[in-house]
Amino acid sequence: MATLKPAKAPGDSLKDKLIRHALERRLNRASAPVPALGAAAPASAPVPDAHCRFDQHPAYQQLRIINDGAARLGVANPFFKVHEGSAAASTRIGGERYLNFSSYNYLSLSGDPVVAQAAKDAIDRYGTSVSASRLVSGERPIHRALEQALAELYDVDDAITFVSGHATNVSTIGHLFGPNDLILHDELIHNSVLQGIQLAGARRLSFPHNDAAALDELLTRERRGFERVLIVLEGIYSMDGDYPDLPAFVELKRRHQCFLMVDEAHSLGVMGARGHGIREHFGLAGDDVDIWMGTLSKTLAGCGGYIAGETALVEHLKFLAPGFLYSVGMPPPVAAASLAALQRLHEVPDRVRTLQQRGQAFLAQARAEGIDTGTSTGLAVIPAIIGNSIKAARLSAALFDRGLNVQPILHPAVPEQSARLRFFICSEHSEADIRDAVQLTAQEIRRL
């Protein structure tokens, strides 16, 4: 059990104008004129440093401004802490143990002895890499076993696994849709979906968060101007911890003849009586959604992503999607760990119940303490919205000093006024862990 520490004496507060100044500083870009495309520059003209040095790249310069400003305000970089073992309810950093709310090991299956042994056995049998793409000579029985188990979970024809969760969305959306198509997404959708839309070259429109009526209006106005239309939602939104009224969106996709894609990265293992996700939560059929997407790195204790759906969808991706076709196959120990975790999911419904109970307890106690939890439903992801990136970083550092590890989410990952700490709940958190985390957070918020 992590040992929580007493509060440090508060330091002198800094003026708000200094904080705003540090956050609002922007890089002054060079004012030299840019030649038109195709225009030849004089052979003797020097190439500007910004065009041939990484340390002069505008994005890097902006990063340095932000980091230097934070350092002057006494705010340490909260990222890239080195965890020295498996991370679930607790973790070890710098030789000390911390109560941990920064890992999405929701059912504590990463570190589960059965899952770990499956990975070790796969190494002994298949090695650490398949050393080829799946299409040519990288196919192993463990790949197909995992994909068949995923298809059974969703009650659909088939599934395909990718070596990266982010790349799963990029590859799938980028390959299946094109310039004549329209993609409509919730305004809080994950970056991987946005990157996939950019690759596809499709027209992109967002609709207000979880607002089916607004989407209906968009579809009524726009649907007939495009060939294929895709609607993309998340099962649980990773920054806010809420979820859509999925049956309402299923009705819309049918009425407007669209495809519907649901990203279950954070809802598998978390929603539903058995942890089978948002489909189980609402009692939907597998084919109510055209493209089921998820990651293997959260509940399923591995790394990578998957797409589940009808045969035509999966075969299309297996034979033609560049992100699968030209990528090495998933390492056998990773596939074996995720398959074992999926099997364990069926065996440990008590962990799902405990996770849901702990999440509800955290949410109720946090609200009672006056912590702004936004629209979270208490299903594993619960924000503490602070409304200022510097304050969020300071709050994270103060809690770390007291033995609690929780990461800040800062601008531009969220709007500046929505900067927050994001608490991930797992099934190993005890009632005392929840109580201590909420009380410490409330104390340190009042001290800011």
Contact present, 199 and 176 (Cβ < 8 Å): no
Sign of CA dihedral 304, 308, 313, 314: positive
Q: Residues of 22-31 as b/e, b for ≥16 C-beta within 10 angstroms? A: bbeeeeeeee
Does residue 148 sit in helix, strand or coil? Answer: helix
Contact present, 225 and 360 (Cβ < 8 Å): no
Does residue 90 sit in helix, strand or coil? Answer: strand
Please, is 61 exposed, middle or buried when counting C-beta atoms within 10 Å of its C-beta (0-12, 13-18, 19+)? middle
Q: What is the pLDDT of residues 286-295, one digit of tens each?
A: 999 999 999 9
Does residue 307 sit in helix, strand or coil? Answer: strand
Spatial distance between the Cα atoms of 331 and 120, rounded to a whole number of angstroms: 12
Spatial distance between the Cα atoms of 422 and 221, rounded to a whole number of angstroms: 37
Residue ranges of the domains in the chain?
A: 82-110+349-447, 130-330
> Which token pair is 55?
């340390």
Contact present, 421 and 396 (Cβ < 8 Å): yes
Looking at CATH, the fold of the domain delimited by 130-330 is given as Aspartate Aminotransferase; domain 2 (3.40.640)
Please, is 135 exposed, middle or buried when counting C-beta atoms within 10 Å of its C-beta (0-12, 13-18, 19+)? middle
Does residue 186 sit in helix, strand or coil? Answer: strand
Provide the mean pLDDT of the chain. 91
Determine the pLDDT at residue 23: 46
- Alpha helices of 86-140 — where are they, by DSSP H? 113-126
Spatial distance between the Cα atoms of 310 and 156, rounded to a whole number of angstroms: 6
> Which token pair is 11?
């330091």
pTM over 0.85: yes
Determine the pLDDT at residue 3: 64
- Alpha helices of 7-164 — where are they, by DSSP H? 16-24, 58-72, 113-126, 141-154
Domain 82-110+349-447, CATH 3.40.50.720 — does that match? no
Residue 38: CB atoms within 10 A of its CB come to 5
Residue 28 backbone phi and psi in degrees, to 5: -85, 110
Q: Per residue of the chain (448 residues), give pLDDT as tens.
A: 566 776 665 544 443 444 444 445 443 444 445 445 555 667 778 888 888 888 888 888 878 877 776 677 677 778 888 899 889 999 999 999 999 999 999 999 999 999 999 999 999 999 999 999 999 999 999 999 999 999 999 999 999 999 999 999 999 999 999 999 999 999 999 999 999 999 999 999 999 999 999 999 999 999 999 999 999 999 999 999 999 999 999 999 999 999 999 999 999 999 999 999 999 999 999 999 999 999 999 999 999 999 999 999 999 999 999 999 999 999 999 999 999 999 999 999 999 999 999 999 999 999 999 999 999 999 999 999 999 888 999 999 999 999 999 999 988 888 889 999 999 999 999 999 999 999 999 999 999 8
Residue 147: CB atoms within 10 A of its CB come to 21
Please, is 330 exposed, middle or buried when counting C-beta atoms within 10 Å of its C-beta (0-12, 13-18, 19+)? buried
Spatial distance between the Cα atoms of 122 and 102, rounded to a whole number of angstroms: 29
Spatial distance between the Cα atoms of 66 and 172, rounded to a whole number of angstroms: 34
Determine the pLDDT at residue 21: 46
- Alpha helices of 133-245 — where are they, by DSSP H? 141-154, 165-176, 191-200, 212-222
Spatial distance between the Cα atoms of 102 and 47, rounded to a whole number of angstroms: 45
